[in-house]
Amino acid sequence: MGRIGSKGWLLFLVVPAVALAVGWRVWVQPSARTGASEAATIEPGSTAAPPSAPPLVGASEGGSRASTPGAADEAASPPQDVSHARAADPAGRTVTLVATFARPDKSEIEVDRARVDLVDAAGVVRRTDAQHATRIEIEGLAAGPYTIHVEAPGYIHREQTLDVHPEKLDGSKGPVHETRIFLWPEDWIAVLARTSDGRPFSAVGDDLGLEPKTLFAGVFRVHTRLDAPARNETDAPDDPSLARFRPPSGHQAWEVTRGCVGSLQLLHPAPIWVGLDVFGTNLGWEFLPPGRSEIVFRLDLPDLEARFARVALRVVDEASRAPVEQALVTLRADDSAHRRKDQGSVPTGSDGRLELARVVPGRYEI
């Protein structure tokens, strides 16, 4: 196993020209060094201690804000994008929506009563009432985008959007689309990750031209404490007995709803302080007062870029040390959620060199 830093690090892979399929496992993380390049020879089984990363400073709403230089004031969240509607069923059939009530961790719940409004792209509302139910069924829907609003005593619902389409056929219902309606119990706090202009992190992935799930699955961790951290304190100890953080399950669901990267189940009543880690580095601490149903952390693209790793390497012939042109290099993450097509079978240049940027820190096979 080898451990390597990335920012400013140059890696030489010395391999026989006929044996390029041999892999090395390395630990990739951002380096604190941003100046002159360094070189390291990677040998199978070698290890090197990874350099530590500098603190990451962000800003969020509520309580004390740690402001990022030049960050804009909080902006209202943009309307949900419903431009991704699927084409209507060619056969002209309608769809039955089957929606199960669930907590943010996907555990099924039974609601005493609930009112569900389903709003189509034209603003037409279909209302359904439920009593002592774990799910609802709404028949006769045209395929397309919808927004869900729910009122249920004892729970808080965050607006959801979905693209209704025929997922499967049911013998009695015909075309069916299944989904979950996430309801937050009153002692569950939504943890939001947004940019300073109010956009969810999924928009940052879109800006980079990368699928958000390959960047953000499993990268968020939450800590809690009772006393306020000192100014600019990022490594303050936390008290896990105060709350339990529940990230979305599965790398396909890195967020519960837009911008919500998980839920915090309070085991101790507010007020408490909440800290968020991104890529293993603390973003900052925010104050959660009594009665708040959400807490928001903010991070802009330049700060996020600083958290990514960079892998630069050169492939040369073992005997002659001549550069190997068009060697196909794959950086394969141990965590399947972070495997990306743009990091597979990438050819080296005429000098045998290759650089891969915006690498999520973690363990990889080259």
Q: What DSSP line would sit under 279-340, residue for residue?
A: TTEEEEEEEE-TT--EEEEE--HHHHHHHSEEEEEEEEETTT--B-TT-EE--EESSGGG--
Q: In this structure, are 227 and 149 located in the same domain?
A: no
Task: For residue 69, tell me if it sits in a domain.
Answer: no
Total domain count for the chain?
A: 3
pLDDT score, position 187: 93
Q: Is 208 helix (H, G, I), strand (E, B) or coil?
A: helix
Q: In this structure, are 268 and 279 located in the same domain?
A: yes
On the question of pLDDT at 344 being above 80, the answer is: yes
Q: In this structure, are 234 and 316 located in the same domain?
A: no
Task: For residue 227, tell me if it sits in a domain.
Answer: yes
Contact 127, 137 (CB under 8 A): no
pLDDT score, position 29: 73
Task: For residue 64, tell me if it sits in a domain.
Answer: no
**Average pLDDT score over residue span 148-176:** 90
User: Which segment of 33-37, 195-199, 237-241, 320-324 scores lowest on mean pLDDT?
Assistant: 33-37
Task: For residue 49, tell me if it sits in a domain.
Answer: yes
Q: In this structure, are 319 and 294 located in the same domain?
A: no
Q: In this structure, are 171 and 201 located in the same domain?
A: no
Task: For residue 138, tell me if it sits in a domain.
Answer: yes
CA 315 from chain centre, in angstroms, equals: 33
pLDDT in tens, 49-69: 333 333 333 333 333 333 333
Q: In this structure, are 177 and 136 located in the same domain?
A: yes
pLDDT, greater one: 175 or 91 = 175
Task: For residue 131, tell me if it sits in a domain.
Answer: yes
Band of residue 91 on the pLDDT scale cut at 50, 70, 90:
low
- Give the other-Cβ count within 10 Å of 262's Cβ: 22
Band of residue 131 on the pLDDT scale cut at 50, 70, 90:
very high
Query: Distance between CA 82 and CA 119 in Å, rounded?
Result: 11
Task: For residue 71, tell me if it sits in a domain.
Answer: no
Task: For residue 25, tell me if it sits in a domain.
Answer: yes
Band of residue 252 on the pLDDT scale cut at 50, 70, 90:
confident
Q: In this structure, are 275 and 241 located in the same domain?
A: yes
pLDDT score, position 10: 42
Among 298, 319, 354, residue at a domain's last position: 298
pLDDT, greater one: 108 or 209 = 108
On the question of pLDDT at 169 being above 70, the answer is: yes
pLDDT score, position 3: 42
pLDDT score, position 264: 94
pLDDT score, position 26: 74
pLDDT, greater one: 331 or 57 = 331
On the question of pLDDT at 154 being above 90, the answer is: yes
**Average pLDDT score over residue span 248-269:** 86
pLDDT score, position 337: 83
Q: In this structure, are 218 and 177 located in the same domain?
A: no
Q: In this structure, are 131 and 180 located in the same domain?
A: yes
Residue 225 falls in which region: left (phi positive, over 0), alpha (psi -120 to 50) or beta: beta
Contact 363, 50 (CB under 8 A): no
Q: In this structure, are 221 and 285 located in the same domain?
A: yes
Q: In this structure, are 263 and 234 located in the same domain?
A: yes
pLDDT, greater one: 347 or 8 = 347
**Block residue for tokens 């007995």:** 241
Band of residue 213 on the pLDDT scale cut at 50, 70, 90:
confident
Among 185, 206, 235, residue at a domain's last position: 185
**Average pLDDT score over residue span 38-52:** 33
Query: Distance between CA 285 and CA 231 in Å, rounded?
Result: 10
CATH number at residue 170: 2.60.40.10
Among 153, 185, 217, residue at a domain's last position: 185
Q: In this structure, are 261 and 193 located in the same domain?
A: yes
pLDDT, greater one: 273 or 13 = 273
Residue span of the structural domain in which 346 resides: 2-53+306-365
Q: What percent of the chain has pLDDT over 70?
A: 75
